[in-house]
Structure 1
Amino acid sequence: MRRLLAGTALTSIMLGLVLPAGAARAQEGDQPVAVFDRSRPAFDPKGIDLGGFRLYPRAGVSETYDDNIFADESNEQDDFITAVDAALLAESEWSRHEVKVDARVRHEAFIDNSDQDRTEYFLRPALRLDLGERDTARFNAEQSRRVVGRDDPEDAGDEEPTEFNRFLAGGEYIHRVNRVFFGFNAEARRDDYISGGDDDRDRNEYRFGLPVGYEVSAITDVTLEPFVRLRDFDELDSTGADRDAQAAGATVGLDTELTRLVHLNFDVGFVANDYEDSRFDDSVDLIFGGEAIWYATEMTTLKARAERRDIATSQPGSSSKTQSSAGVEVQHELMRNVLLGGEVRYINDDFREVDRVDNRAQLDLSAEYLLNRYVSVAAEYRYEQRWSDADNQDYSRNLITVGLKTRF
C-alpha cells in the first residue's frame, strides 16, 4: 500500500471536497487518471508485438551540470555529466495472469572527474496468477547494481562512489471470501557492497506478513497486517557493534476514494526492535505512510506523500535509523504534448545511539516536449540542501539537465 501522512493529505482532501464535481473529467473509463499516466494515442509508443507479449524499448541521452558533485560543504567541485540509458519492458497480453519483465541500464560519465563514472542497472521480473474467481498470487524478483548518492547520509565519503548489488525475491497470496480477504506475503533481500572495506555493510533482510482485510464498499478497503522481520549483518561494524535485530509489528491500512477526485492510501502502525547487541536499547517506533491524489482539474494532478520507517544504517555505532519524509508533487499538461512537473520533498534521518540527525530538502522542476510517439526532449532543474548535526556534512547544490528520449 502506498504511503502518506494524514496531516499532509488533509489540505488536498479539503480542496477536493469543495471542488465542483465536474472540474476534472475522467480520462479513461469512469475513473480519473493522473496526468503523467494518461493515455495519449498520438504520442504513446505502440511497442513491438511478439505474439502474446508486447515489447517496449526505450533509450535516452542527457547532459547534467552539477555545481557540487561530492555534496561537500567547503570543497565544492562542479562538473558536466553525460548519461546514456536504455530500458526494455516486456508485458504479457493474456486474458488471465500477467508476466512483466522490466530492465534498465544507465551509465554516467564525468568529464573532469572520471573516477566518479558509474553504471547502474536492474532486472525485475514479476508474475501475477489469477486463481479461481478472486484469488491472486504475485511473485517478484530483482537483481540490480546501485550507487549510493552523494546526498545520502549513507554515503561513506570515499573518493570513489559506494556501489552495491541487490538481490531480492518476494511473493504474496490473497484469498477472498465474500468481502473478507486474507493471505500472506514474504520477501528476502541481500545487499552486497563492492568497495573494499565495506564488508560490514553487507546484510540480509527477511520479512513475513499476514494481511487480513475487509471490503467496506466497492471503493474502500481496510487492512490489518501483523509482520515479523529479521535483519542479519555479515560482520560487526567498525566500533565492534552487532546490528543484527529481530522485529515484530503491525499496520492498519485504509484504501479509499474520499470523493471521485480525491483518492487516499494510508497505513499506520508500529515496529518493535530487539537487538542482538546489549549496548543497543530495544525500541518501539511509530511507522506510517501513504499517498493522497487530488485530480484538481482535467489538466492538473496533485500528489501528496509521506512516510516514516525504521531502516538499516551503515553509520558506525548506530543500530538503525528512523527516516521520515513528506512531499508534494504537481503534474500539469500545458498542451497535449507538453508536460510540466514540480515536486518539493523533505527528508529527516534520525540515527539511533549516535548524535546525528540529518535534514534534507529537495526541489525538482521538469518539462517534457513530446515531438511524436518516438521522440521527446526533456529538461530538469534540481536544488538540494542538507543540514546535519555531524561536522562538515551540510551542503547545497544545483543540478541542471537536458536530454533526449526515444521509445518504440
Structure 2
Amino acid sequence: MPEYHRRHSIPSFGRVMYDRPLARLHPAAETTEAGGLKRRLLLAAAGLALTGGLAAVPANAQTETSPDDTVATRQHPEFDPPGIRMGGFILYPSVTLDEVFDSNIYATQGHDTSDLITVLQPKLELKSNWNVHQLNLHASGDIDWYAQHSRENYANYDIGADGRLEVYHDAWISGGADYSLWHLPRTSPNNIVGQADPTEYNQASANVVGHKEFGNLFVELGDSYNRYDFTNAQTFDGRAIMWERQNHDENEVSVRTGYTIQGLYELYVKGAYNTRNYDSTSDMSGFNRNSNGYTVLVGGKYNLTGITSIDLFAGYRSQDYDDVRLGTFSAPTGGAKITWNVTPLTTVTGEITRDIDETIVVGAAGYFATKETVAADHELLRNLILHLQLSHEADDFQNIGRTDDVYGVGLGAKYMMNQMTAINVRYNYQIRSSNGTGIGYADHNILVGLTLHL
C-alpha cells in the first residue's frame, strides 16, 4: 500500500478500517501507559496461541494442512461464491454495505468528534480459468457517507489488471497495472491538522517481473512505477493548501537471485534502486524532496513440517535527498513473517517489517516505520470465523527528533450464511502516542456489514 494512503489500521475480513487518532495520554504517563499496553497486547496474543495449541486434534490431522492453506484463506466450497462462468473466465460480482461508528473522525487530541458512516463497496473480479497463463481484471469502489459531517464524504475507486505469461516450463513473466482515486485517512502521519476536507489524489501504477530458473537456481528482474497526483485543499478558515506540490513519480528496479528446493526452503539475495522525482523542486514547506536510494537484502523462506512457514530477510536501506537540509539517511532494514497452523481450525501469524516511508512533515527527510503484527484466526464453525489482531508501529522521523507509537487491537467475526451472503462484525481500537505536540489520538470503530455475492 502506498505511503500516502496506508492506514494505521487493523485489517480484517475484506475492509481496512479507519485509522483515526486517540485522545493523547497525560505527558507524564504516556510512555508508561503505552509500554504497559504493548505488554498486555503481546500477553493476550500468546495466550490465544497457547489456547489454540492445546485444542484436542488428532496428531496426524495437522500433517494434512499446508502453511498456505490457512483458516483465513482456505476454500469453503459450500459457502464460497460460485461466480458466473464466461467462457475461459469466471466473473465474481459482490457488493458490501457497512455501518460504521467512528468515535474520532478527525483523529484529533482532546476534541473527539464522532459520527455514523455508511459505506458502500461494489466490486467486480474477472479471473481466467486457463491451464496455462493467467489474466485477471478488477474494479472496485469505496463510497463513504457521513451522517452529520458531509465534508468528510468521499468516493474512492480502483481499476486494474494483472496476469502471468508462462514463457517456458521454468520461465515466466508477470505484471499488472492500476489506476485509482484515493483519499488520505485522517490518521495518516501526512495528514494536515485543520484541513477542511479529506486529501484527494490519483495514483497510476504498473509493475513487471521476469523469472527464470536454472535447476534449483533462479533469477528475477523487476520494475515498478507509481505516479501520484494530488488535489489542492484548504483549511477550515479558508487558507490554501498546495497539495499539488507533492505530485511525483516513483520508480524502482530490482534483481533477485537465489537457490530453492520447491516446497522446502529458499535462500536469496536482492538489490533494488529507486528514484523519486517531484514535479516541483519546492514542496509545501519549501523543501526539494527529489531523492534516490537503494536496498540490499539477504533472505530465506522455510517450510517446517508443512504446518509452519517462516520468511526472514535483513539488509541495509539508504535514501539520498537533493536538498542538503534533508541529506541522506541510512539504517538496517529487515522483516520476518511466520505462519503457524496450530490446528486445522486455528492459524496464528506474526509479522515485523522495517522500512523508509515518504513524509510531508516539515524538516523530516522521511521516517523509518517499524511495524509489528500478531493475528489469530479460528474457525469456530464451518461458516463462522473469528479474528483477533494486535499491532504496533514505531515511526522515527529523521532530522526532527519526532517519534510516534501507534497501537491497535482488532476483533472480528465473519458469518457465511450461504454462497451469496456473509455478515461481518468488527471492533477496532487504536491509540497513537508521540513526543510531538497535539499528534496523539485515540479512536474506537464499530462495524456491522453485509456482503452479497453472485
1:220 equivalent in structure 2: 265
SS at match of 1:35: coil
User: Does the 8 Å CA contact 1:68/1:396 hold for their aligned counterparts?
Assistant: yes
Q: Determine the C-alpha separation between the residues in 2 that align with 1:154 and 1:373.
A: 40
2:219 equivalent in structure 1: 182
User: What code does the residue aligned with 2:287 have?
Assistant: A
1:4 equivalent in structure 2: none
Q: Determine the C-alpha separation between the residues in 2 that align with 1:32 and 1:240.
A: 48
Q: Determine the C-alpha separation between the residues in 2 that align with 1:21 and 1:287.
A: 39
Q: 1:368 to 1:321 in 2, by over 3 A?
A: same
User: Does the 8 Å CA contact 2:274/2:294 hold for their aligned counterparts?
Assistant: yes
1:3 equivalent in structure 2: none
Please, which of 221, 226, 231 is the counterpart of residue 276 of structure 2?
Answer: 231
1:244-298 CA distance string (max 9 Å, x none): 1111221112121133211012221112222211122322221112421000011
Q: How does 1:56-205 map to 2 (within 5 A)?
A: 56-157=92-193, 158-196=195-233, 197-205=242-250
1:55-110 CA distance string (max 9 Å, x none): 00110111111111111112111110001111111110111000011221010000
SS at match of 2:64: coil
Please, which of 18, 35, 39 is the counterpart of residue 71 of structure 2?
Answer: 35
2:353 equivalent in structure 1: 307
User: Shift in Å at residue 199 of structure 1?
Assistant: 1.6
5+ long unaligned stretches in structure 1: 1-7
2:419 equivalent in structure 1: 373
User: What code does the residue aligned with 2:268 have?
Assistant: T
Q: How does 1:383-398 map to 2 (within 5 A)?
A: 383-398=429-444
SS at match of 1:210: strand
Which is worse superposed, 383-392 or 253-262?
A: 253-262
2:30 equivalent in structure 1: none
- Identity over aligned pairs, percent: 25
User: Shift in Å at residue 32 of structure 1?
Assistant: 6.0
Q: Determine the C-alpha separation between the residues in 1 that align with 2:451 and 2:67.
A: 29
2:34 equivalent in structure 1: none
User: Shift in Å at residue 120 of structure 1?
Assistant: 1.2
User: Shift in Å at residue 320 of structure 1?
Assistant: 1.3
1:297 equivalent in structure 2: 343
SS at match of 2:163: strand
SS at match of 2:151: helix
User: Does the 8 Å CA contact 1:26/1:32 hold for their aligned counterparts?
Assistant: no
Please, which of 212, 220, 245 is the counterpart of residue 291 of structure 2?
Answer: 245
2:256 equivalent in structure 1: 211
2:62 equivalent in structure 1: 24
1:1-25 CA distance string (max 9 Å, x none): xxxxxxx9xx89x989999853535
User: Does the 8 Å CA contact 1:86/1:105 hold for their aligned counterparts?
Assistant: yes
User: What code does the residue aligned with 1:212 have?
Assistant: T
User: What code does the residue aligned with 1:225 have?
Assistant: K
Q: 1:234 to 1:151 in 2, by over 3 A?
A: same
Q: Determine the C-alpha separation between the residues in 1 that align with 2:197 and 2:166.
A: 46
Higher strand share: 1
Whether 2:361 is the aligned partner of 1:323: answer no
User: Shift in Å at residue 307 of structure 1?
Assistant: 0.8
SS at match of 1:263: strand
Q: Determine the C-alpha separation between the residues in 1 that align with 2:330 and 2:223.
A: 22
User: What code does the residue aligned with 1:161 have?
Assistant: P
User: Does the 8 Å CA contact 2:366/2:397 hold for their aligned counterparts?
Assistant: yes
1:277 equivalent in structure 2: 323
5+ long unaligned stretches in structure 2: 1-41, 234-241
User: Does the 8 Å CA contact 2:67/2:339 hold for their aligned counterparts?
Assistant: no
Q: Determine the C-alpha separation between the residues in 2 that align with 1:364 and 1:17.
A: 21
Q: 1:59 to 1:374 in 2, by over 3 A?
A: same
2:239 equivalent in structure 1: none
Please, which of 254, 260, 264 is the counterpart of residue 306 of structure 2?
Answer: 260
User: Does the 8 Å CA contact 2:67/2:303 hold for their aligned counterparts?
Assistant: no
User: What code does the residue aligned with 2:251 have?
Assistant: Y
User: Does the 8 Å CA contact 2:329/2:398 hold for their aligned counterparts?
Assistant: no
SS at match of 2:72: helix
User: Does the 8 Å CA contact 2:63/2:306 hold for their aligned counterparts?
Assistant: no
Which is worse superposed, 170-179 or 355-364?
A: 355-364
User: Shift in Å at residue 237 of structure 1?
Assistant: 2.2
Which is worse superposed, 338-347 or 187-196?
A: 187-196
Q: Determine the C-alpha separation between the residues in 2 that align with 1:263 and 1:134.
A: 24
User: Does the 8 Å CA contact 1:17/1:259 hold for their aligned counterparts?
Assistant: no
User: Shift in Å at residue 218 of structure 1?
Assistant: 4.1
> What TM-score, normalized by structure 1, do the two folds share?
0.92
User: What code does the residue aligned with 1:202 have?
Assistant: N
Q: Determine the C-alpha separation between the residues in 2 that align with 1:304 and 1:324.
A: 14
Q: Determine the C-alpha separation between the residues in 2 that align with 1:307 and 1:385.
A: 20
Q: How does 1:37-52 map to 2 (within 5 A)?
A: 37-52=73-88
Q: Determine the C-alpha separation between the residues in 2 that align with 1:335 and 1:275.
A: 53
Q: 1:176 to 1:332 in 2, by over 3 A?
A: same
Q: 1:218 to 1:384 in 2, by over 3 A?
A: closer
User: Does the 8 Å CA contact 2:228/2:248 hold for their aligned counterparts?
Assistant: yes
Q: Determine the C-alpha separation between the residues in 2 that align with 1:357 and 1:216.
A: 42
Q: Determine the C-alpha separation between the residues in 2 that align with 1:231 and 1:31.
A: 37
User: What code does the residue aligned with 1:400 have?
Assistant: I
Q: Determine the C-alpha separation between the residues in 2 that align with 1:317 and 1:351.
A: 9
